[in-house]
Amino acid sequence: MDTAHARKPGEAGPAIGTRIPRRELSRLLHGAGRYVDDIKLPRMLHLAFVRSPYPHARIKSIDVEEARQCAGVEAVLTGADINHMCKPLHGVALHRPGHRAAMQPLMATERAVWQGQTVAAVVAQSRAQAEDAAELIDIDWDELPAIVNAEMAIDRGNPAIHSELDDNIAFDFSIDNGDVAKAFKDAAVVVEEELRFERQVALTLEPRGLIADFNTGDGSLTVIHSHQSPFQMQEVFSHHFGIAEHKVRVQAPDIGGGFGMKLNLYAEELAVVASSIHLGRPIKFCADRLESFLTDAHARDHNIKARMAVSADGRITAMEVDDVGAVGAYGMQMRFNVAEGMMAITVSGAPYNFDDYKARTRSVYVNKNLVGMYRGVGLPLACIVTELLVDRAAAALKKDPVEFRKQNYRGKSMLPCVTPGGQRLETVSFHECLDKLTELMDYGKLRSEQETFRRKGILRGVGIATFLEQTAYGPPYYGPSGASISTQDGCTLRLEPSGSIRCVTSITDQGQGTLTGIAQVVADTVGVNYEDVGLVSGDSAISPYGGGAWASRGMAIGGEAALKAGRLLKQNILDLASAITQTPAANLDISNGQVINLQTGMQILSLAEVARIGYFRQDTLPPAFDVQLSVSRSFVANSQICYLANGVQGCHVEIDQDTGFIKVLGQWAADDCGRIINPLLVDEQVRGGIAQGIGAVLFEECLYSPEGYLQNGTMVDYLVPMAGDLPDIQVVHVETPEASTELGAKGVGEAGLIGAMGAVWVAVNDALAPLGAKIQHQPFTPERVLDAIARARN
Please state whether 242 falls in left (phi above 0), alpha (psi between -120 and 50) or beta.
left
Distance CA 16, CA 645 (A): 49
Mean pLDDT of 673-689: 98
pLDDT-derived band at 42 (thresholds 50, 70, 90) equals low
Identify the pLDDT of residue 242: 98
Distance CA 57, CA 110 (A): 9
Identify the pLDDT of residue 162: 98
Domain(s) of CATH 3.30.365.10: residues in the chain: 25-33+488-635, 145-200+298-398
**Dihedral pair phi/psi, residue 197, rounded to 5°:** -115, 120
DSSP-assigned letters across all residues of 650-677: EEEEEE-TTT--EEEEEEEEEEE-BS-S
pLDDT at 382 over 70: yes
Which positions ≥6 away from 398 have C-beta within 8 Å? none
DSSP-assigned letters across all residues of 406-457: HHHB--GGG-SEE-TTS-EESS--HHHHHHHHHHHHTHHHHHHHHHHHHHTT
Residue 293: its H or E element: helix 289-295
Distances in whole angstroms, Cα of residue 557 to Cα of each of 456, 485, 562, 687:
53, 14, 9, 23
Query: Within 470-513, where are the H helices?
Result: 475-478
Identify the pLDDT of residue 5: 35
Mean pLDDT of 643-656: 98
Considering the chain, what percentage of its residues have pLDDT values greater than 90? 93
**Dihedral pair phi/psi, residue 208, rounded to 5°:** -65, 150
Report pTM. Answer: 0.93
When computed from its CA atoms, the radius of gyration of the chain, rounded to whole angstroms, is: 29
pLDDT-derived band at 570 (thresholds 50, 70, 90) equals very high
Considering the chain, what percentage of its residues have pLDDT values greater than 70? 95
Type of residue at 261: M
Task: Read off the pLDDT of residues 627-638 as tens digits, 9 standing for 90 and up.
Answer: 999 999 999 988
Handedness of CA 642, 489, 573, 627 (dihedral sign): positive
Identify the pLDDT of residue 280: 97
pLDDT at 20 over 60: no
Distance CA 631, CA 573 (A): 11
Distances in whole angstroms, Cα of residue 254 to Cα of each of 229, 262, 372, 553, 682:
12, 12, 22, 17, 19
Q: Per CATH, which fold does 36-144+207-295 belong to?
A: Aldehyde Oxidoreductase; domain 3 (3.90.1170)
Task: Read off the pLDDT of residues 451-481 as tens digits, 9 standing for 90 and up.
Answer: 999 999 999 999 999 999 999 999 999 999 9
Identify the CA nearest to 361 among candidates 324, 328, 412.
Answer: 324
Mean pLDDT of 338-343: 97
Distance CA 352, CA 389 (A): 12
Q: Within 10 Å of residue 18's Cβ, how many Cβ atoms?
A: 9
Q: Within 10 Å of residue 741's Cβ, how many Cβ atoms?
A: 22
Mean pLDDT of 320-349: 97
Task: Read off the pLDDT of residues 487-497 as tens digits, 9 standing for 90 and up.
Answer: 999 999 999 99
pLDDT at 36 over 70: no
Residue 104's DSSP bridge partners are 89
pLDDT-derived band at 18 (thresholds 50, 70, 90) equals very low
Distances in whole angstroms, Cα of residue 44 to Cα of each of 279, 280, 503:
11, 11, 32
Q: What is the mean pLDDT of the chain?
A: 94
Task: Read off the pLDDT of residues 267-307 as tens digits, 9 standing for 90 and up.
Answer: 999 999 999 999 999 999 999 999 999 999 999 999 999 99
**Dihedral pair phi/psi, residue 652, rounded to 5°:** -130, 120
SS3 content of the chain, % helix, strand, coil (to 5): 35, 25, 40
Torsion of CA 760, 763, 769, 774, to 10 degrees: 10
Domain(s) of CATH 3.90.1170.50: residues in the chain: 36-144+207-295
Q: Which CATH architecture has domain 25-33+488-635?
A: 2-Layer Sandwich (3.30)
**Dihedral pair phi/psi, residue 635, rounded to 5°:** -140, 140
Task: Read off the pLDDT of residues 651-674 as tens digits, 9 standing for 90 and up.
Answer: 999 999 999 999 999 999 999 999
145-200+298-398: in CATH 3.30.9.10: no
Which positions ≥6 away from 239 have C-beta within 8 Å? 87, 484
Query: Within 535-623, where are the H helices?
Result: 560-581, 607-616
Largest CA distance in the chain: 93
pLDDT at 622 over 60: yes
Cβ–Cβ < 8 Å for 228, 550: yes
Which positions ≥6 away from 158 have C-beta within 8 Å? 147, 152, 168
Identify the pLDDT of residue 638: 82
Q: What is the DSSP letter of 252?
A: -
